[in-house]
Structure 1
Amino acid sequence: ADPEPAPEPEEPEVHTIDIVDGPYGMSFARIPEGSFEIGSGEDEIGRDLDEGPTKEVQITEFWLSQTEVTLRQWKSVMGDLPFRWQSGNAPPSWTLDEPVRYLNWDEAHEFINRLNHLTGQDYRLPTESEWEYACRAWEDSPYWSGATESELRESDWVGPYGTLSEVKTTERYNAFGLFDMHGNVSEWVEDDYFDNYRQLPEDGTAYEHLPRFTMKVTRGGSFLSSPDSSRSASRAPMEASTRFSTIGFRVAANQMTELVLGE
């Protein structure tokens, strides 16, 4: 008998919240619970030593914004554009639907704290384990779209052939409903940086090296990154005070409450 065809993948579950007075909302995808091996195997092309040893991590269901936070969303929450755009030092051409960038780790937290104040909710940065799990979306290849650079080129915005793009410019998203997990801008996560995973929590929570430790992590690579530096497992240690044209963030939540969903 012929083998049964593989089941069709389920459509991602997505909810949109209206931030402040809208109509520009922030869409969140449900990331189902599960376990995975964080990091990369020793035979993965482009692998760095800090991507190991691989470790099985259990992830509790959470929600993650479908896209990186945009300038429009930043302005809706914070009341104005970031300082670089106010000071006349903005890039020569930009739109409100590009990812917000030139933000350090603390400024990403300022946005989230303000969003929590406005909505009464409990948003946060994703942990490093959550980020990689969400990026992979059940895939164990170097990129969620497959194991080749050509497939990456079709999906996301990565150097040397990449340019910064408005969010959702491509119609391709991963199995969890997330856009631009490879490239466009790299993304702050909650964790302190350490050069291996031996002490990484197995429950998906953030790794804390020392109180007030200032070396953090960005994930996903950017429009200026090589494909190797944009793999699902790739990590970039970064001082929390860093403001680069290539760094942004997205927002996570443990749950979407009835108040947010408007049910």
Structure 2
Amino acid sequence: MRLFHLLLVLSLYFLISCERKKSLSENPPQLLPAVSTGESSKSRQNQPISEPVSAPEFNQTPKLLSINSLVPAPNATVSPDTLILLNFDQSLDSKNLTAESFTLADSEGTQISLRLSTRGNSLTLTPNSALTYDTSYTVSLLKSLRGQNGEILSELRWNFLTSPPPLMRPPSVVLVNPTDGETQVQADQSINVYLSQPLDPQTVSKESVRIQATQGARDFSVEGNLQVEGTSLKFIPRQPWLYGMTYRVTLLPELKDLKGNRLEARYEWSFETHTLAPGMVPIWPGSFVMGSPSKPPEREVVMNQIYYILNHEVTVGEYRLCMEAGACHYSEPTESHYWTMKNPDQIDAPLNYISWDQTQEYTHWLSLQYPGNYRLCTEAEWEYAARAEGKGRFGCGTEAKCLNQHAWHSRNLSQPGPQPIQRKQPNTWGLFDMQGNLWEWVQDYYAPLVLETVIQPSGPKEGRLRTVRGGSYRNQPESLELWQRGGNPPEIRHDYLGFRVCADP
């Protein structure tokens, strides 16, 4: 029964649907009248309904030219000598590229002209005048740039800052070698100076770098070769450094670095060279008139070589070292009047009762102990050193009374006999007891002086007697004139005879 009702409903729905489709096909729907817009319906009916409408023309925007990097980078701080560099993703079309394409201006608006150059994908802007320190600059694009592929860059602007000026610090000394106060410096060592900044070689000269040797109150300039390499300065002496000498080095503010800055301040230091036997001092070349003006002949003598002389007479203590080494043979004299070796503890007394022959043993032994060739002084060397550039009768002046401060003589002894060394004042070259105390053996044979100019004389080639110089404690001061000389057999020994040594470098 239910199935019958369901079939009846479906049949009725099917018949109604067929009738509706038939009615729509016989009576199509009419369009509704349009809302009035001021146009008549007739004019609208006259327009073709299907007329095509044309679209307006569209202008496409070009692609932008890409920048890979800028130098200096925006807001960077750079040196005033910087270049301005732009790197693109393609090379530029240079047809419209001119110096007016960009401007470079400082913070006050002052423009700086530019030179433009291209290479590959890079564009370089070179300022035609130097940029100033500690200033802000702006780079601006005025004319569009076009790449080879047609891309365009029409706007560009960025800033950078130049660095502050460098500190104008003057050069200063960092290190010296030999160091200040150094001793035992070798004769062939150079002077090396290291500074904080490279030096201008044009300012390095003997006026700005001075090396002087000091002997007593005298200074001697040292010649040599100055070399500059970067921050180092080297001095190589023309001759090896002298033994036992103090050298002073002075750097003056005339020294300048490559930027023209003067040396911070005068710089000075000193060093000492390797020593010979204790007490040896150098004697510099020169000339003098040898002999007595009252007892001709006088002769001019030229000393053209440096030599060394002991600044005191050889002492008991010094000679005993040679005896203890077995190199010196010395015995008690038959006459021991004021014999200084009698009291061996009196080591600073000058040795007396010494023959010329015995001095040769001592100088030979001394040459084996220290650098240098030791010997007795020549007569010319002795007088040149005793005068010490003085022109008076005595080493201390023209009047004998000055000897009271410089020499032991018969009128100023507190006790008879030879006196300890270095108790009186030295001469201007730092030599003690060159007059008085003991007569001193020298190397020369004794003979009359010859009237001629001689250079570094060594005395006669042969003779019987050996020369002695300087006088002794027995002499009155008036007889201690510098030119006084005498001769004795080389084997003789006396209480008034002693010696000092010289040496060749």
TM-score scaled by structure 2? Answer: 0.42
Question: In structure 2, what is the equivalent of residue 54 of structure 1?
Answer: 298
**Which amino acid is 1:175 matched to?**
T
Task: Name the CA distance, whole Å, in 1 between partners of 2:275 and 2:321.
Answer: 10
**Alignment equivalent of 2:455, drawn from 180, 198, 203:** 203
Question: In structure 1, what is the equivalent of residue 438 of structure 2?
Answer: 185
**Alignment equivalent of 2:396, drawn from 136, 139, 145:** 145
Distance 1:240 1:229, change over 3 A: farther
Structure 1 runs (4+) greater than 4 angstroms displaced:
11-14, 16-19, 87-90
**Which amino acid is 1:64 matched to?**
I
Partner secondary structure for residue 404 of structure 2:
helix
Unaligned runs of 5+ in 1: 1-7, 20-24, 43-48, 256-263
Task: Name the CA distance, whole Å, in 2 between partners of 1:224 and 1:88.
Answer: 17
Task: Name the CA distance, whole Å, in 1 between partners of 2:429 and 2:465.
Answer: 29
CA shift for structure 1 position 91 = 3.4
Deviations 1:194-235 (A, max 9, x none): 123337x7122311242xx22111000000112233211110
Matched residue count: 230
Q: Contact 2:439/2:468 (CA < 8 Å) preserved in 1?
A: yes
Question: In structure 2, what is the equivalent of residue 82 of structure 1?
Answer: 330
CA shift for structure 1 position 14 = 8.3
Q: What does residue range 206-245 of structure 1 map to in structure 2 within 5 Å? A: 206-210=458-462, 213-245=463-495
Task: Name the CA distance, whole Å, in 2 between partners of 1:78 and 1:91.
Answer: 17
Q: What does residue range 74-113 of structure 1 map to in structure 2 within 5 Å? A: 74-79=319-324, 82-84=330-332, 89=336, 91=339, 94=343, 95-113=346-364
Partner secondary structure for residue 15 of structure 1:
coil
Q: Contact 1:26/1:73 (CA < 8 Å) preserved in 2?
A: no
Distance 1:34 1:224, change over 3 A: same
CA shift for structure 1 position 241 = 1.6
Pick the structure with more strand per residue. 2
**Alignment equivalent of 1:168, drawn from 419, 422, 425:** 422
Task: Name the CA distance, whole Å, in 1 between partners of 2:347 and 2:472.
Answer: 18
CA shift for structure 1 position 240 = 1.2
Deviations 1:25-52 (A, max 9, x none): 621111110011101212xxxxxx4xx3
Q: What does residue range 240-255 of structure 1 map to in structure 2 within 5 Å? A: 240-255=490-505
**Alignment equivalent of 2:313, drawn from 57, 60, 68:** 68
Cα RMSD for the two superposed structures = 2.8
% same residue: 27
**Which amino acid is 1:180 matched to?**
D
Q: Does 1:27 align with 2:256?
A: no
Unaligned runs of 5+ in 2: 1-215, 221-241, 246-273
Task: Name the CA distance, whole Å, in 1 between partners of 2:432 and 2:412.
Answer: 18
**Which amino acid is 2:421 matched to?**
V
Which has more radius of gyration? 2
CA shift for structure 1 position 11 = 6.8
Task: Name the CA distance, whole Å, in 2 between partners of 1:160 and 1:196.
Answer: 31
Q: Does 1:15 align with 2:224?
A: no
Task: Name the CA distance, whole Å, in 2 between partners of 1:188 and 1:161.
Answer: 24
Distance 1:32 1:11, change over 3 A: same
**Which amino acid is 2:491 matched to?**
S
Partner secondary structure for residue 448 of structure 2:
coil
Task: Name the CA distance, whole Å, in 1 between partners of 2:332 and 2:320.
Answer: 13
CA shift for structure 1 position 251 = 0.7
Partner secondary structure for residue 455 of structure 2:
coil
Distance 1:27 1:138, change over 3 A: same
**Which amino acid is 1:145 matched to?**
C
**Which amino acid is 1:137 matched to?**
A
Q: Contact 1:194/1:209 (CA < 8 Å) preserved in 2?
A: no
Q: Contact 1:14/1:177 (CA < 8 Å) preserved in 2?
A: no
**Alignment equivalent of 1:122, drawn from 373, 394, 415:** 373
Q: Identify the structure with bigger relative contact order (alpha carbons < 8 Å, sequence gap 6+).
A: 1
Question: In structure 1, what is the equivalent of residue 171 of structure 2?
Answer: none
Task: Name the CA distance, whole Å, in 1 between partners of 2:402 and 2:466.
Answer: 29
